[in-house]
Structure 1
Amino acid sequence: MPIIDVRNFRKEYGPTVAAADVTFSVERGEIFGILGPNGAGKSTTVEAIAGLRRADSGSIEVLGRDPADPELRRLVGVQLQESALPDRMTVREALELFSAFYPDPVDWPELVRELGLGDKLKTRYAKLSGGQKQRLSIALALIGRPEVAILDELTTGLDPQSRRDTWDLIAGIRDRGVTVLLVTHFMEEAERLCDRIAVIDHGAVIALDTPAGLVERVAVEQRIRFRPSAPLDEKLLTALPEVREVRRHGPAVEVVGTGALLQAVTSVLASHQIVAAGLRLEQATLDDAFVQLTGRPARTED
């Protein structure tokens, strides 16, 4: 049985269709990502999974239960994009308050030490940095020993180092045996963390695959750049079926093609005792796949 099972989920707000037909399932132990442009229906779907919205049609089950089932409150940890604490609340007060919600909370002093907040217990929420607030959000999402953690745009607004630190923490959640549903618009984040990804656009899932599987769908050519250590006859490369074009940029050579391009080119060079100095391969990324699937970048300014 899937941990999360979403079938033909639809949600309307008056004339606005926030989610038209969303279907996907999440297996135990996965980090499952949801990607989509602004306004695609990501947050509406996640809020319904968390029990904060009711479907107009279709169905959602979490751990075999309706998301509105009160029993799920102790089995699902949630960190939503707009969630925040009172500015004057200290880290200790927040942890003690959330611990009181559960019959068997984790040992939060140990948890905050693991998350690097051990010296911030007396600090008020307003005084925490962006990264520290996200660490606290993770602690509060885990404090009830959940089986599922829902994390919505967890690293928005963080500097690059804090974002990477948070990625390590998310991977650590899965190591605790928790299934993670991760909503993000950072392609590198999704590519690094997620086992599978659902791409949502215009209120429906338009692609569902592993990060590598989504990239493989993109018909984007590869480019290899290098400086040959000896004179190079371009015909050696243009004769390869993987090569579409060879270009010269001063002493550098650029080879454009598809398939096993790198292996084909390096094999030919090696057979002619030519070293490819400064070799660099440029190929399709998850960002390329996303743009091709949706026709727009993952995040635009509101």
Structure 2
Amino acid sequence: MKTTTAPILECRGIIQRYGRLTAVDDLSLAVPPGICFGLLGPNGAGKTTLIEILEDIIRPTAGEVFYLGKPRTSLFRQQIGIMFQQTALLAFMTVQETLATFHKLFDKAYDLEELIRLCHLDDIRKQLNDKISGGQRQRLLLALALINQPELLFLDEPSTGLDPQARRNLWDIVHQVRSQGKTIILTTHYMDEAQHLCDIVSIMDHGRIIATGSPQQLIARHTRGINITLPPDAAEAITSNAIFQVNRLADRVVLQVTDLNRAIQALLEASVDLTHMSVQSPTLETVFLNLTGRKLRE
């Protein structure tokens, strides 16, 4: 007999209205336990509103949220961990003092030394909060989100503003947390981050979920062909051509092609400089652009 695992977090028929604006439109989703679940969406998609509803920060206009198969109680906020995109830390406290203060707030708290090792904070434990780097600050905020040993962890744009080395370091820690059986709900604008970390991704737009699946499944369903990336000044030399679809972004031009040889020949005939050309298979970013459009949203 086949059995299914009940979701750790589920929402049904969520609606959130602000006057005439419907930010979340009759949305339902279920998050299986023990995975990294990514929620992606362009600006204005309703993603932030939905996350705040799931975190129990705001109450929806309509609909229900269930934790471990039951309606949430007042204990829910004590049982989850949240790494907010922006969190104010007291400048006059050290990293060690900050962790120790939060540690005292919970009956079931992470072993402090183990947490410091997990989040690579040993070298900065005596530094003041306002003297640490961006990557060190994000690792501290992650440690604070984990301090109550939550089974469900929300990570809201955890690597925004970090350099590539700090991002990779943070990803390694997230992988370790995931390997402990924790469930992670991740929001990010970095498609490579979602593709690297997430087991399942839902893409949201106009208040609704428009696609869900593993990154590999979404790429297989919603992309085709190969991407050729060129500098933005190449756009002037590229005209309409059935060989490729042209996506003009702020910092580059992306061509979607099915026949690489024919596409390159067409570019050479158009006298396009291919010195800085890169060629890659479709990614989650391709899926995101295909589903939500290429126009920048404010």
TM-score under structure 1 normalisation? 0.77
Give the C-alpha shift of residue 177 in structure 1.
1.6
Deviation digits for residues 167-222 of structure 1 (CA, Å, limit 9, x no counterpart): 11111111122111111111101111101001011111011111011111224323
* 2:291 aligned residue: 293
* 2:46 aligned residue: 41
What is the CA–CA distance in structure 2 between the aligned matches of 1:10 and 1:291, rounded to whole Å? 25
Stretches (4+) displaced over 4 A: none
Give the aligned length: 255
3-state DSSP class of the match of 2:173? helix
- The equivalent position to 1:16 in structure 2, one of 5, 21, 29, is 21
3-state DSSP class of the match of 2:178? helix
1:59 to 2:64 alignment: yes
AA at the equivalent of 2:79: L
Give the C-alpha shift of residue 64 in structure 1.
2.9
* 1:129 aligned residue: 133
Q: Percent same amino acid among aligned pairs?
A: 40
Give the C-alpha shift of residue 2 in structure 1.
0.6
3-state DSSP class of the match of 2:123? coil
The answer to whether the 8 Å contact 1:43/1:152 transfers is no
Deviation digits for residues 63-108 of structure 1 (CA, Å, limit 9, x no counterpart): 23434x2222332111122323233332122212211221121111
Give the C-alpha shift of residue 136 in structure 1.
0.7
Give the C-alpha shift of residue 13 in structure 1.
2.2
* 2:145 aligned residue: 141
Give the C-alpha shift of residue 164 in structure 1.
1.1
* 2:37 aligned residue: 32
Structure 1 residues 222 and 116, CA, compared in 2 at 3 Å: closer, same or farther? same
* 1:247 aligned residue: 262
* 1:270 aligned residue: none
Structure 1 residues 149 and 249, CA, compared in 2 at 3 Å: closer, same or farther? closer
What is the CA–CA distance in structure 2 between the aligned matches of 1:249 and 1:144, rounded to whole Å? 55
Give the C-alpha shift of residue 281 in structure 1.
6.4
- The equivalent position to 1:187 in structure 2, one of 182, 186, 191, is 191
What is the CA–CA distance in structure 1 between the aligned matches of 2:192 and 2:13, rounded to whole Å? 29
* 2:172 aligned residue: 168
3-state DSSP class of the match of 2:135? helix
What is the CA–CA distance in structure 2 between the aligned matches of 1:50 and 1:283, rounded to whole Å? 36
Structure 1 residues 223 and 290, CA, compared in 2 at 3 Å: closer, same or farther? closer
Give the C-alpha shift of residue 166 in structure 1.
0.8
Alignment of 1:198-277 (within 5 A): 198-222=202-226, 244=259, 246-247=261-262
* 2:238 aligned residue: none
3-state DSSP class of the match of 1:59? strand
What is the CA–CA distance in structure 1 between the aligned matches of 2:66 and 2:13, rounded to whole Å? 12
Deviation digits for residues 205-242 of structure 1 (CA, Å, limit 9, x no counterpart): 01111101111122432379xxxxxxxxxxxxxxxxxx
What is the CA–CA distance in structure 1 between the aligned matches of 2:9 and 2:31, rounded to whole Å? 5
How much is the aligned-residue C-alpha RMSD, in angstroms?
Answer: 2.5
TM-score under structure 2 normalisation? 0.78
3-state DSSP class of the match of 1:161? helix
3-state DSSP class of the match of 1:119? helix
Structure 1 residues 142 and 219, CA, compared in 2 at 3 Å: closer, same or farther? closer
* 2:280 aligned residue: 282
The answer to whether the 8 Å contact 1:218/1:284 transfers is no
The answer to whether the 8 Å contact 1:95/1:108 transfers is yes
The answer to whether the 8 Å contact 2:56/2:77 transfers is no
What is the CA–CA distance in structure 1 between the aligned matches of 2:117 and 2:172, rounded to whole Å? 15
Which 5+ residue runs of structure 2 have no aligned equivalent?
1-5, 229-257, 269-277
Give the C-alpha shift of residue 17 in structure 1.
2.2
AA at the equivalent of 1:192: H
Give the C-alpha shift of residue 155 in structure 1.
0.6
Which 5+ residue runs of structure 1 have no aligned equivalent?
225-242, 254-279
Identify the range of structure 1 (280-289 vs 43-52) with the bigger mean alpha-carbon deviation: 280-289
Identify the range of structure 1 (38-47 vs 204-213) with the bigger mean alpha-carbon deviation: 38-47
Give the C-alpha shift of residue 36 in structure 1.
0.4
What is the CA–CA distance in structure 1 between the aligned matches of 2:24 and 2:263, rounded to whole Å? 49
What is the CA–CA distance in structure 1 between the aligned matches of 2:203 and 2:212, rounded to whole Å? 6
